[in-house]
Amino acid sequence: MNNNIPIKTPEEIEIIREGGAVLKEVLIKMGEMVRPGISTYELDQEAERIIRSHEGCTPGFKGYRGFPGTLCISINDEVVHGIPRKNRILNNGDIVGVDCGVLYKEFYTDACRTFMVGDVHPNVQHFVETTKKALEEAIKWVKPGNYIGDISAVIQKILTGQGYSPVVECTGHGVGRNLHEPPEILNVGEKGTGPEIKPGMVLAIEPIANMDESEVATAEDGWTVITADGSLSAHFEHTVVVTEDGCEVVV
């Protein structure tokens, strides 16, 4: 069963590639700008400027279900959906997840990077790099004939193998005409389960890990998801297109 997972045409995939190129430009610029002393508002403003400088592109998150920013910027114990603010300043030793979407010709792309700010403790560096590795290894399982559960299982194995906790409440997903489409891609799972992966699927795969316990809560702003125990959280995400023999990382 594929749970009505949309299969994109070659023309639609080309549009997704073009939107992804803009999103990649945004994330590269964010990596250059992240430093102690900068506000998350400044990052958000520049991300929006870059997106709107490309004809036909608009921020995919701004206004989505009422979200106020172009970026979701989540610092330290913030898991996802942090709101950019003028008084939210990055400090030396922080880690910051920068999640962004681009809408181009009615198709979304979605990606996230966790950046390390200044001098970060080696244990924290290892945590961030392990979360990134979980994404890299999961992508190797994205090929026709495999299953969505294969992606989830490898994410879980890599994170728990290093003593970290996959976040169950936040998931990867299909992406296309809607920001969130089937299938749901959990960060825990069993190989050989879930929908079969087929060419033309477009998936946003996003390991999200907490350094200690997996439980999360929602902050007072109604948007920001935080770790329940105050531990650090990291998040990486690629939009990928399933090809005949594997997958293509769009962004």
What are the tokens at 77? 């114990």
The predicted structure's pLDDT at residue 15: 98
Mind listing the pLDDT tens digit for each residue in 39-91?
999 999 999 999 999 999 999 999 999 999 999 999 999 999 999 999 999 99
Mean pLDDT for 185-193 is: 98
Query: Is residue 185 predicted with pLDDT exceeding 90?
Result: yes
Mind listing the pLDDT tens digit for each residue in 119-168?
999 999 999 999 999 999 999 999 999 999 999 999 999 999 999 999 99
Helix 40-52 to helix 10-33 angle, to the nearest 10 degrees? 140
The predicted structure's pLDDT at residue 3: 60
For the chain, percent of residues with pLDDT exceeding 70: 99
CA distance linking residue 107 with residue 161, whole number of Å? 36
Specify if 2 maps to a domain: no
Specify if 90 maps to a domain: yes
pLDDT tier at 1, thresholds 50, 70, 90: very low
Specify if 104 maps to a domain: yes
Higher pLDDT, 2 or 181: 181
Measured in whole angstroms, the distance separating CA 9 from the mean position of its chain's CA atoms is 24
| DSSP class per residue in the chain | --TT-----HHHHHHHHHHHHHHHHHHHHHHHH--TT-BHHHHHHHHHHHHHTSTTEEESSTTGGG---SEEEEETTEEE-PPP-TT-B--TT-EEEEEEEEEETTEEEEEEEEEE-SS--HHHHHHHHHHHHHHHHHHTT-STT-BHHHHHHHHHHHHHHTT-EE-SSS-EEE-SSSSSEEEEE-SS--TT-SSBP-TT-EEEE--EEESS---EEE-TTSS-EEETT---EEE-BEEEEE-SSSEEE--
Specify if 5 maps to a domain: no
Range(s) of the domain holding residue 79: 10-249
Are 213 and 164 a contacting pair, CB within 8 Å? no
> What CATH number is given to the structural domain containing 54?
3.90.230.10
Report phi then psi at 180, rounded to 5.
Answer: -125, 115
Q: How many domains does the chain have?
A: 1
Average per-residue pLDDT for the chain: 97
pLDDT tier at 2, thresholds 50, 70, 90: low
Mind listing the pLDDT tens digit for each residue in 85-95?
999 999 999 99
pTM exceeds 0.75: yes
